[in-house]
């Protein structure tokens, strides 16, 4: 438990160790995660999604600068990054400091998505928990907006930012349905390039066609030039305004309930699977597999046959509390 208490003190080396354990699915990691869990739920989670090369990392670099000026501590999780964080002037120093374990204010971690089976992967949520427990005020999660993970990141984030770039007619098409709908803030990055205004109009038209409840949140559009640090302050203000809206409308609590529900579903899936495979009669399992191989039964029916043996409780079930 020593590792967990070091993490709660914000120790970067301890946090890195647990994050590695999470990725390797080390059994110890589960215990440490249990210990830190009561200390999580304070960080504000921001998803940053856009196609490869849209400028997500560059924009995050400049956001970090603005957030640090506001004395906020920052965590960054880059999922499947295809380009490394080059680091602006500020970040460059911070990353160097971080590698010496000296800087507690900014913590950056990359996660490989390859090999994940469905869902957003426990690894992302658990890594968020570690940064949260370290006391990071805001956690930025960078994902490339083309896969299944991005749909889920919008469920995990408090604020979802979608980045587009000029000449992005194609980008809009490439974005999976559901990502655009889930955006709380649109960013048009590379506004120094031709076509930014055009794209803004296109987005505005798209938003006009959607119906928002009168007291609901209507996504805004922020123009940025991330390489020049332009627009990062406006974007920070937009994030904080959205946070304020979510807090005062009670929407934040609802989103967070959705998030823990998602975690519960993932946890149930893995514990039920473990439970069944640990307790099932091996001879019965072998026979079932043999029947599957000889096409005497199909996998869905086989699964139902197994699960039905564990579903003998009255419905609905649950302990009285």
Ligand X SMILES: Nc1nc2c(ncn2[C@@H]2O[C@H](COP(=O)(O)OP(=O)(O)OP(=O)(O)O)[C@@H](O)[C@H]2O)c(=O)[nH]1
As measured in angstroms, the least distance from the Cβ of 238 to ligand X is: 17
Cα(141)–Cα(175) distance, rounded to whole angstroms? Answer: 17
Report the number of secondary-structure helices (H) and strands (E) in the chain: 14, 7
Alpha-carbon distances, residue 199 vs 55, 167, 223, 224 (angstroms)? 16, 7, 10, 13
Structure tokens at 122: 């426990």
Segment near ligand X (CB under 6 A); pick from 80-88, 104-112, 261-269, 271-279: 80-88
Question: Is 252 within 8 Å of 158 (Cβ atoms)?
Answer: yes
Indicate the residue whose CB is closest to Mg ion: 57
Q: Supply the minimum distance, in Å, between the C-beta of residue 85 and ligand X.
A: 8
Q: Does 53 bind ligand X (CB under 6 A)?
A: yes
List the beta bridge partners of residue 50.
Answer: 144
Q: What interhelical angle do 122-133 and 251-279 show, nearest 10?
A: 120
54 binds ligand X (CB under 6 A): yes
What number of chain residues touch ligand X (CB under 6 A)?
19
Integer Cα distance of 62 and 89 in angstroms? 9
Question: Which residue, 83 or 270, has its beta carbon nearer to Mg ion?
Answer: 83
Instruction: For ligand X, give the closer residue by CB, 26 or 95.
Output: 95
What's the min distance (Å) between Cβ of 40 and ligand X?
27
Stretch that binds ligand X, among 151-159, 220-228, 234-242, 286-294 (CB under 6 A): 220-228
Q: How far is the CB of 77 from Mg ion (least distance, A)?
A: 12
Task: Please report how close the Cβ of residue 240 comes to ligand X at its closest, in angstroms.
Answer: 22
57 near Mg ion (CB under 5 A): yes
Tokens 């739920």 correspond to 41
Q: Are strands 138-144 and 44-50 parallel, antiparallel or unpaired?
A: parallel
**Alpha-carbon gap, residue 122 to 268, rounded angstroms:** 12
Determine if 227 is a binding residue for ligand X (CB under 6 A).
yes
Chain contacts with Mg ion (rule: CB under 5 A) = 56-57, 81, 83
Chain contacts with ligand X (rule: CB under 6 A) = 50, 52-58, 81-83, 144, 189-190, 192-193, 225-227
């Amino acid at each position: 438990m020593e590792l967990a208490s070091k993490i709660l003190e914000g120790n970067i080396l301890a946090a890195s160790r647990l994050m590695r354990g999470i990725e390797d699915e080390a059994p110890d990691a589960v215990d440490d995660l249990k210990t830190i869990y009561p200390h999580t739920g304070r960080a504000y989670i921001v998803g940053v999604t856009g196609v490869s090369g849209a400028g997500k990392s560059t924009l995050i670099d400049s956001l970090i600068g603005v957030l640090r000026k506001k004395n906020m501590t920052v965590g960054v999780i880059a999922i499947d990054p295809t380009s490394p964080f080059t680091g602006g002037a500020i970040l460059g120093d911070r990353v160097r400091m971080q590698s010496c374990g000296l800087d507690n204010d900014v913590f950056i971690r990359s996660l490989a998505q390859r090999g994940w089976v469905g869902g957003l992967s426990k690894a992302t949520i658990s890594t968020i928990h570690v940064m949260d427990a370290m006391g990071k005020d805001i956690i930025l999660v960078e994902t490339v907006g083309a896969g299944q993970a991005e749909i889920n990141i919008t469920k995990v984030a408090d604020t979802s930012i979608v980045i587009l770039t000029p000449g992005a007619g194609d980008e809009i098409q490439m974005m999976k349905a559901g990502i655009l709908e889930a955006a709380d803030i649109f960013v048009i990055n590379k506004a120094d390039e031709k076509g930014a205004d055009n794209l803004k109009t296109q987005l505005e038209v798209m938003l006009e066609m959607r119906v928002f409840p009168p007291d609901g949140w209507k996504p805004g559009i922020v123009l940025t030039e991330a390489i020049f640090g332009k627009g990062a302050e406006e974007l920070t203000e937009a994030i904080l305004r959205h946070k304020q809206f979510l807090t005062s409308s009670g929407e934040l609590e609802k989103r967070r309930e959705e998030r823990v529900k998602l975690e519960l579903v993932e946890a149930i899936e893995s514990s039920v699977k473990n439970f069944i495979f640990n307790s099932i009669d091996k001879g019965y399992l072998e026979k079932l597999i043999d029947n599957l191989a000889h096409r005497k039964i199909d996998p869905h029916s086989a699964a139902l046959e197994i699960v039905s043996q564990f579903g003998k409780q009255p419905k609905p079930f649950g302990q009285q509390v």
